[in-house]
């Protein structure tokens, strides 16, 4: 079920009303109030996930049960060695399932090409379960954190199933830790009106970024990438910039909708994006982009390898490892590995000079506008990100190389100008500018519409509904045709 679908527009209000105002009165009469509330969350989440393909409900249930059981076995283990064995069994099991569905055919195809053998009977051609990369990593963090002593295992299997399958973040994150999300399912939740209102605003902001910005960018991007050999360099550059905003609007929009939806149910999810295109170097960009995945690899891969506490050579090694693994996490294609390697190389100068933690504050903090130096830094970082997204978007390394070659042969601006004469391109550009302006003004907030009642004329309670109505009208009139989210394929 997609967040931007009619089905979800019907599903969410029904679940919300049942959760707070129908079953709540029944649940309060029961001795197992919390367990019944969590059971309803699991039921709603399984309906949400099963809407796509009910058969994969068995897979997520199996993952949940094994990870829950492993937590109990790790805690009960008589020795540290046995606890480690149970932890690794769960890791191997979960990563084995992920590898089977996501990577087996890729490696089988590469093997067949390398040894010049037929792939007939070699490929499984299985459908990739939506969200498997996200909930697998969420399950892994649970057993690892129990082994490390950061969290106690729960005996409440219903609460654990709710933690793994919580529908707002089930398909594309944020990738939550058991230390943050699981305890919220182990305590009573009360309806908070202000929190729910803020959640609705964040949902609206996420829908705007997805439906109005990302989906309209996608139309132009798909056209140019499908015909890149026939386009001028300026047009290729414009399409690459549009894709940069498409993937941001698409993925950060999903995260906003997920976080906002969770607020409606009294659950707080971690922030996943923090205005990454206002970063002053590539290290800051990665502290602001897909935060839940970046911090996951930091805590469970980078730091165990020694992190930054080792020699410069090993720090470089560790950096390349996490970026290559992160790239491969995105999909079974050499382009994702190349994209990870590209960003690792961009990190090298910052690591070698010890400047990779230089920018940890918000840009232009306490000021309305950035300095000339900050503007130049943001533009350079943005351009580096654009180049990386070309590799990410391409279907092969060869296509990425040809696309960049064509783009650098800038040629005439006439073809690019021709696209700007099209009303839909000008409108899309306007939507991108609106998004950037709002995010700049709200860069110290959790999302674009947080505290919107304090902004300029919007403190007037009669003007805010007009703004919301205009946004909904924009979505209905100018909404793009790309329904699915990009990160559903990962």
Measured between alpha carbons, how far is 196 from 180 in angstroms, rounded to an integer?
19
Question: Where in the sequence numbering do the catalytic residues fall?
Answer: 330
Measured between alpha carbons, how far is 341 from 388 in angstroms, rounded to an integer?
10
pLDDT at 411: 61
Tens of pLDDT, residue by residue over 196-222, are: 999 999 999 999 999 999 999 999 999
Measured between alpha carbons, how far is 439 from 26 in angstroms, rounded to an integer?
42
pLDDT at 480: 67
**Positions in the chain whose pLDDT score sits under 70:** 23-31, 120-121, 410-421, 455-459, 480, 482, 490
Q: In percent, how much of the chain has pLDDT > 70?
A: 93
pLDDT at 452: 79
What HEC string does 279-343 produce?
A: CCCHHHHHHHCCHHHHHHHHHHHHCCCCCCCCCHHHHHHHHHHHHHHHHHHHCCCHHHHHHHHHH
Tens of pLDDT, residue by residue over 370-425, are: 999 999 999 999 999 999 999 999 999 999 999 999 888 766 556 566 666 677 78
Q: Enter the pTM of the model.
A: 0.92
Tens of pLDDT, residue by residue over 113-131, are: 777 777 766 777 778 888 8
């Amino acid at each position: 079920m997609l967040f931007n679908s009619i089905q979800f527009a019907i599903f969410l209000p029904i679940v919300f009303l049942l959760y707070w105002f129908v079953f709540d009165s029944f649940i309060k009469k029961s001795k197992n109030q919390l367990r019944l509330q969590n059971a309803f969350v699991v039921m709603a989440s399984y309906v949400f996930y099963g809407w796509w393909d009910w058969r994969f409900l068995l897979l997520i249930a199996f993952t949940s049960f094994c990870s829950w059981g492993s937590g109990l076995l790790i805690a009960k283990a008589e020795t540290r060695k046995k606890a480690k064995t149970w932890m690794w069994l769960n890791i191997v099991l979960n990563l084995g399932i992920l590898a089977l569905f996501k990577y087996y055919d890729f490696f089988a195809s590469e093997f067949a090409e390398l040894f010049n053998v037929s792939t007939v009977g070699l490929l499984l051609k299985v459908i990739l379960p939506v969200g498997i990369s996200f909930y697998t990593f969420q399950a892994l963090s649970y057993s690892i954190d129990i082994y490390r002593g950061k969290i106690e295992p729960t005996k409440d299997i219903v609460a654990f199933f709710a933690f793994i399958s919580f529908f707002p973040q089930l398909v594309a994150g944020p990738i939550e830790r058991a230390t943050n999300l699981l305890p919220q399912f182990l305590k009573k939740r009360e309806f908070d009106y202000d929190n729910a209102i803020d959640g609705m605003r964040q949902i609206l902001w996420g829908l705007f970024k997805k439906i109005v910005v990302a989906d309209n960018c996608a139309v132009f991007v798909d056209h140019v990438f499908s015909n890149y050999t026939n386009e001028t360099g300026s047009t290729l550059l414009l399409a690459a910039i549009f894709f940069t905003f498409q993937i941001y609007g698409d993925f950060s929009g999903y995260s906003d909708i997920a976080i906002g939806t969770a607020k409606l149910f009294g659950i707080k999810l971690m922030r996943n994006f923090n205005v990454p295109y206002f970063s002053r170097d590539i290290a800051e960009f990665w502290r602001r982009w897909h935060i839940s995945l970046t911090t996951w690899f930091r805590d469970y891969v980078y730091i165990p390898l020694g992190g930054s506490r080792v020699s410069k050579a090993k720090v470089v090694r560790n950096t390349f490892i996490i970026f290559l693994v992160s790239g491969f996490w995105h999909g079974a294609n050499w382009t994702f590995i190349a994209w990870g390697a590209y960003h690792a190389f961009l990190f090298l100068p910052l690591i070698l000079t010890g400047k990779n933690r230089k920018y940890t504050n918000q840009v232009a903090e306490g000021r309305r506008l950035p300095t000339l130096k900050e503007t130049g830094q943001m533009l350079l970082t943005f351009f580096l990100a654009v180049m990386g997204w070309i590799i990410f978007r391409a279907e092969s390394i060869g296509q990425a190389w040809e696309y960049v070659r064509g783009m650098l042969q800038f040629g005439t601006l006439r073809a690019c100008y021709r696209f700007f004469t099209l009303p839909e391109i000008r409108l899309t550009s306007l939507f991108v500018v609106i998004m950037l302006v709002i995010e700049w003004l709200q860069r110290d907030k959790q999302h674009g519409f947080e505290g919107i009642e304090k902004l300029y004329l919007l403190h007037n309670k009669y003007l805010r509904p007009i703004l919301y109505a205009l946004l909904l009208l924009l979505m209905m009139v100018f909404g793009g045709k790309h329904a699915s989210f990009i990160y559903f394929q990962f």
